[in-house]
Structure 1
Amino acid sequence: MKKKEGFEGQEAIVLPRKVIAGCQEHPLLQSLFITDIGYYPRAKFHYRERRQGSEQHILIYCVDGNGGCVINGQEYDINPFNYLLVPAGATHSYWASERSPWSIYWMHFKGPMGNQLASLLHERMETAQNYVKYNEDQIRIFHNMYRHLQSGYSIDNLSFCSLSLHYFLSSFIYPDKFSLLKQEAGSDPAEDAIEFLRKNIANSLSLQEVAAAVNLSTSHFSSIFRKKTGFSPMEYFNHLKMQKACQLLQFTTLRISEIGQAVGIDDQYYFSRLFHSLMGISPREYRNKKEIRPS
């Protein structure tokens, strides 16, 4: 049996097409940005093959277990603390060991700067310099990028992840030079509101309820939230809901109506219209595209 995904404890985010298109046009983001990101623990039977290659570069960092890959006919063994870089457009396949399936952090990324960094990463891999000792600070950067994307696709979040991605990828290219400056994270009403929205994905909230949760008037709250994120609070809430819906479509067998209810939308037709407007395809098409097919 072979599986593309569907592993217990896995996490994954796939950015909507419209958000990716926006990244390609934004002056700060267009040089390097994430399109997909996730973590697969003990990914038994994991296998992917792309004969036509991927539109993005793919980075996989193995932190436990073993696996292997073939890129343009060249085979590589992947052991704990090895990374794997698959260049965009390269014919490839990769897999987890049956005896000791790998646990991996992974991401897809694009952009002109991404092309340059991917080339450096691939050069190191080809010369067997792809062993990178586990570093909690490095993994913390990954989780921080994931958490910000999980919080929504505001320009601030996307910009932070783009800039963090430069640092994250450089930690694989120059592992001996890698260091991390500790930063203190502050809090503000917009961030507090985003956390409130995340905790209430399964509910239907009004603007007044969200503003009240951070002790602000609706007009003042809407103004500072849009300034912070580039979206109205309700637009942002819908992004979070569709992100959760994508995960449920990809990783569960819940009916589409049940997924709508799980993100606080009881009207299945409204849920489908909203999903299509943000993701560019219907919920059913998204599920079929991401379907796990055992072989």
Structure 2
Amino acid sequence: MDKKANIYLKPHPIDAHEEVIINITGYYEHIKNHQITRQGSTCADEAIFIYCLEGAGWLTTDNKTYVVDKGMAIFCDQKAPHAYGSNGLNPWTILWVHFTGPFVDYFSNALHAKAQCTALSIGYHTHIVQYMKQILKLLDTPDEPLKRRTAYSYLKVCLCEVLMHVQENRSKNITANAYVDQSILIMEQYLHHSLSLDELCHAIGLSKYYFSRQFKLATGLPPMTYFNRLKIQKASHLLVTTDDRIQEISAHLGFSNPYYFSETFKQFTGFSPREYKHMHGKKY
């Protein structure tokens, strides 16, 4: 597969009878300097699904910023304002599609993401990758009705697979051990303070080894990495929505000094706080 592929589809008579209609689809491999912002009149009149195969990126909505890693996906409903892009230090490889049709409403409602954008932790699944690559292969000749219909069907199956993984993850979260949920609540309460693994384990009442192992099984990340990601997501939001100085945000979130804050911020986003504020500060 080429390192960068874009396939644009013109309207076709069969579209009137399909639940899922592909407008644009593509594949980007380790793409740098990839940044898209849609706000107000520039919001897409179509749903967007992006699946991260390697590397990392980010998604910013009106009220939240997500760090997007391998095995995560982005969904943006129709007309939902957003910005997303690749991590400058660890550029992402993504499969993506813009689509319309009656199935969009079902999909967004099932995700509880109507008129919103969200990041989904679904893991890396070979079936989803195969479906999306098959769509690209089929649409090399988009004017052939049978291939086009088959591509639409593959996308619907792919999206249903995503929903099944999301629902499975929700079920696991509901039945997850209470201490994992409790530890995340403590992290959220301590976003403006420092918090060590020893202190967290003491509050939960578990050994560091056992707690760290169980936390990573439940969330996919070590506890302190998860805590720092929460801090950086909050910092990203403050950089975009307030006039606070970088030093003030660093102190507000309990970092020992602005240098450590900047290094941590760049590790998660690929940008320094100053670069990130410059890119987004005037758009939200």
Name the TM-score, length of structure 1 as normaliser: 0.51
Q: CA deviation at 1:96?
A: 0.8
Structure 2 counterpart of 1:119: 109
Moved over 3 A (4+): 121-124
Q: CA deviation at 1:87?
A: 0.9
Q: CA deviation at 1:140?
A: 1.2
Given the alignment of the two structures, is residue 33 of structure 1 paired with residue 27 of structure 2, yes or no? no
Matches of 1:84 and 1:121, distance apart in 2: 12
Letter in structure 1 aligned against 2:9? L
Letter in structure 1 aligned against 2:135? M
DSSP-derived class of the 1:150 partner = coil
Q: CA deviation at 1:174?
A: 0.7
Given the alignment of the two structures, is residue 135 of structure 1 paired with residue 125 of structure 2, yes or no? yes
Q: CA deviation at 1:176?
A: 8.0
Structure 1 counterpart of 2:157: 167
Q: Give 1:9's match in structure 2, choosing from 3, 16, 19.
A: 3
- Partner deviation per Cα, 1:236-294 (whole Å, 9 max, x = no partner): xxxxxxxxxxxxxxxxxxxxxxxxxxxxxxxxxxxxxxxxxxxxxxxxxxxxxxxxxxx
C-alpha spacing 1:121/1:37, structure 2 compared with 1 (3 Å): farther
Q: CA deviation at 1:93?
A: 0.8
DSSP-derived class of the 1:93 partner = strand
* Conserved 8 A contact 2:59-2:119: no
Q: CA deviation at 1:62?
A: 0.7
Letter in structure 2 aligned against 1:12? N
Q: CA deviation at 1:74?
A: 2.4
Q: CA deviation at 1:80?
A: 1.0
Matches of 1:51 and 1:176, distance apart in 2: 27
DSSP-derived class of the 2:159 partner = helix
Matches of 1:101 and 1:9, distance apart in 2: 13
Q: Give 1:46's match in structure 2, choosing from 31, 34, 58.
A: 34
DSSP-derived class of the 2:98 partner = strand
Letter in structure 2 aligned against 1:139? V
Q: CA deviation at 1:133?
A: 2.3
Q: CA deviation at 1:177?
A: 9.0
Aligned positions, number: 165
* Conserved 8 A contact 2:120-2:166: no
* Conserved 8 A contact 1:145-1:164: yes
Matches of 2:166 and 2:102, distance apart in 1: 25
* Conserved 8 A contact 1:23-1:33: no
Matches of 1:56 and 1:144, distance apart in 2: 21
Given the alignment of the two structures, is residue 95 of structure 1 paired with residue 95 of structure 2, yes or no? no
Which moves more between the two structures, 84-93 or 113-122? 113-122
Alignment RMSD (CA, Å): 2.7
Alignment of 1:65-76 (within 5 A): 65-76=55-66
Matches of 2:120 and 2:142, distance apart in 1: 32
DSSP-derived class of the 1:115 partner = helix
Q: Give 1:157's match in structure 2, choosing from 126, 134, 147.
A: 147
C-alpha spacing 1:138/1:89, structure 2 compared with 1 (3 Å): same
Letter in structure 2 aligned against 1:32? V
* Conserved 8 A contact 1:13-1:37: yes
Letter in structure 1 aligned against 2:86? A
Q: CA deviation at 1:40?
A: 0.6
Q: CA deviation at 1:67?
A: 0.9
Structure 2 counterpart of 1:58: 48
DSSP-derived class of the 1:174 partner = helix
Matches of 2:35 and 2:122, distance apart in 1: 23
C-alpha spacing 1:122/1:108, structure 2 compared with 1 (3 Å): farther
Matches of 2:74 and 2:25, distance apart in 1: 15
* Conserved 8 A contact 2:75-2:120: no
Structure 1: segments with no counterpart, 5+ residues: 1-7, 179-294
Name the TM-score, length of structure 2 as normaliser: 0.53
- Partner deviation per Cα, 1:164-207 (whole Å, 9 max, x = no partner): 111100111112899xxxxxxxxxxxxxxxxxxxxxxxxxxxxx
